[in-house]
Structure 1
Amino acid sequence: MIKLYNFPKSGHAHRIELMLSLLGLPTELVFVDLAKGAHKQPDFLALNPFGQVPVIDDNGTVIADSNAILVYLASTYDKAGKWLPHDPVNAARVQRWLSVAAGPLAFGPAAARLVTVFGASFNADEVIGRAHTLLKVMDAELAKSAFLAGNEPTIADVANYSYIAHAPEGNVSLEPYPNVRAWLARIEALPGFVAMPRTAAGLQTTI
């Protein structure tokens, strides 16, 4: 059984919970209380010196960083290459969106949500503006294919889903982006989909 060290409101951790469920892998969730600083304690820092969730322990193989974990899980448990294609062109298309998840997504929708949900001190207007810049590009890309890297779901979609789905919590409306909203619905219809708990913040007035 794979241990997932997580925090329920972390979109990074949700990526891995979702991927594990999509792959049908038995999982033990280990709650890391970020509010009490559990991620900065020596036992957790031994797993990830950066002091961040998520981390997995796959029978003694410890992997940190959500995108690294996605690559590991797809490479280890999806030998057919559905979630991480084997051919160079499609693998590169997936990698492009993993880079987006680590860059524009993190500094746009994810940062906007950090302001409203966790009280982060980012400039709200700036990060909301970045979020809409990203969403415009995503909406145009998703007009051409059902998923981010083609017409089948990959870890590119898993890496980007959580913070886009929860963008309204950071005062980022998804209403102008019909292709993005349709993409979210397609992911939510996948067998094994698990949702991330919503927070009543920003434009998200109910949970």
Structure 2
Amino acid sequence: MKLHYTPLSGHAHRAQLFLALLGVEHELVPVDLAAGEHKTPAFLALNRFGQVPVLEDGEIVIADSNAILVYLANKYERTDWLPETPAGAAQVQRWLSVAAGQIAYGACAARLITLVNAPFDAPEVIARAHASLTIIDAELAQRDWIAAAHPTIADIALYSYIANAPEGNVDISAYEHIQAWLKRVEALPRFVPFPQSELGLRAR
């Protein structure tokens, strides 16, 4: 199994983290975004959108980080990570959508400004980040994990960009329930950290 990734991508980290948590042997294949490797014909043959991560499992190719999480949970029949019940599956899907929506256009977008000078409006995306984090913090005041009484792929999908939100000048120090949840995720067996950069609020 191969994971095409770049270390500073939170989307790629989701997939890498879940592979590690499952104990699945895999090869990490770096993709040089700065050199445009993700736009080459070879990579576009794997993902026409030219995005990381991409998972290769033999002849099966899965693009999109959340799709990779779903694929891995189903492949290894891990119904603890992805419940089979209609209500349980729906709860997980709800938060996968938040990861792909509010988090991507909030905390992730804010980080891209400081990381690669992305052309977003900083006050707008930072405000959007805090709006979603306020809701997530309130949810985590009621339970230890976001979608169930135990960790699911919803927690994995949310973790990376929330953990590194300070790099985009999003201060998460006041969100006490999020802070406790981050520590719970990081205490999971075989946890792999998301590399930190000295950007934004982490700049020295």
Structure 1's unaligned 5+ residue stretches are none
Q: Secondary structure at the match of 2:202?
A: coil
Alignment counterpart, residue 201 of structure 1, candidates 189, 199, 202: 199
Look up the match of 1:45: 44
For 2:186 and 2:59, the matched residues in 1 are separated by 31
Measure how far apart 1:80 and its partner are: 4.3
Look up the match of 1:175: 173
1:33-84, CA deviations, whole angstroms, 9 ceiling, x for partnerless residues? 000000000000000000000001011210000011110000101x240100
Look up the match of 1:32: 31
Measure how far apart 1:19 and its partner are: 0.4
Q: One-letter code of the match for 1:94?
A: V
TM-score (norm 1): 0.97
Q: Secondary structure at the match of 1:63?
A: strand
For 2:32 and 2:170, the matched residues in 1 are separated by 27
Q: Secondary structure at the match of 1:29?
A: strand
Q: One-letter code of the match for 1:183?
A: W
Alignment counterpart, residue 147 of structure 1, candidates 129, 145, 154: 145
Aligned length: 204
TM-score (norm 2): 0.99
Look up the match of 2:92: 94
Look up the match of 1:156: 154
Measure how far apart 1:205 and its partner are: 2.8
Q: Secondary structure at the match of 1:108?
A: helix
Structure 2's unaligned 5+ residue stretches are none
For 1:80 and 1:202, the matched residues in 2 are separated by 37
Q: Secondary structure at the match of 1:90?
A: helix
For 2:118 and 2:141, the matched residues in 1 are separated by 33
CA 1:176–1:27 in 2, change beyond 3 Å: closer, same or farther? same
Q: Secondary structure at the match of 2:112?
A: helix
The aligned runs of 1:48-67 (5 Å cut-off) are: 48-67=47-66
Q: Secondary structure at the match of 1:5?
A: strand
Look up the match of 2:125: 127
> What RMSD, in angstroms, separates the aligned Cα atoms of the two structures?
0.7
Look up the match of 2:134: 136
For 1:123 and 1:10, the matched residues in 2 are separated by 20
For 2:149 and 2:171, the matched residues in 1 are separated by 25
Identity of aligned residues (%): 59
